[in-house]
Amino acid sequence: MGRKKSFNQQEVIAQMSQVFGQYGFEGTSLDDLVKVTGLLRGSLYSEFGSKQGMFIASLSANLENHTRETLTWRLLLVAMLELTPNNQAVREIVRRWYENQDSTDISVQLGQQLLNHSGILSEGDKYGKYN
């Protein structure tokens, strides 16, 4: 009989989300995820299946619970820039999110988040020069 899970999945997903949000998908190593969660590789793989599964769990949890927070925007940007062109599962998650947005200016919001994340705006320009 297998051992009982001894970690809080939501806490682990929150920790992984921070790493993916900071370094992106490609820039995040499994060692980074092991270090931040304190779990063994085998435990992470057993729970999430793969690094992609870990990212999908992070993205999905953030979209479900923290729709307009900075970390959620960062994970969306990572998903769109790094994964959706070649990953059907991530593309479908982002597509469903996009279709459920009530805001007519979602493109403007995404662009603003990209500018904010890039660091090219000064503090006074955080809301964009066209607002």
Ordered by start, the domain boundaries in the chain are: 9-100
Does domain 9-100 sit in CATH 3.40.50.1820?
no
pLDDT tens per residue across span 64-110: 987 678 899 999 999 999 999 999 999 999 999 998 887 778 888 88
Q: Is 49 a residue whose pLDDT tops 80? A: yes
Compute the average pLDDT of residues 52-67: 93
CA distance 59 to 78: 9
126 vs 98, higher pLDDT: 98
> How much is the pLDDT for 125?
57
- Answer left, alpha or beta for residue 5, where phi above 0 means left and psi between -120 and 50 means alpha: beta
Cβ-contact 114, 106 below 8 angstroms: no
Q: How far is the C-alpha of 66 from the C-alpha of 59, rounded, in Å?
A: 10
Mean pLDDT of 53-70: 91
Mean pLDDT of the chain: 87
Alpha-helix runs per DSSP H in the chain: 9-23, 30-37, 41-48, 51-65, 70-78, 88-99, 106-118
Residues 6+ apart with CB under 8 A from 98: 106
List Cα–Cα distances, 76 to 39, 43, 104, in angstroms. Answer: 25, 26, 18
* Beta-carbon contacts of residue 110 (< 8 Å; ≥ 6 apart): 73, 76, 77, 80
Question: Of 14-28, 32-46, 89-103, 109-123, which gets the smallest average pLDDT?
Answer: 109-123
- Which of 13-17, 25-29, 121-125 comes out lowest in average pLDDT? 121-125
Give the whole-number percent of the chain exceeding pLDDT 70.
86
Question: Which pLDDT does position 126 carry in this prediction?
Answer: 53
Tokens of 43: 């435990």
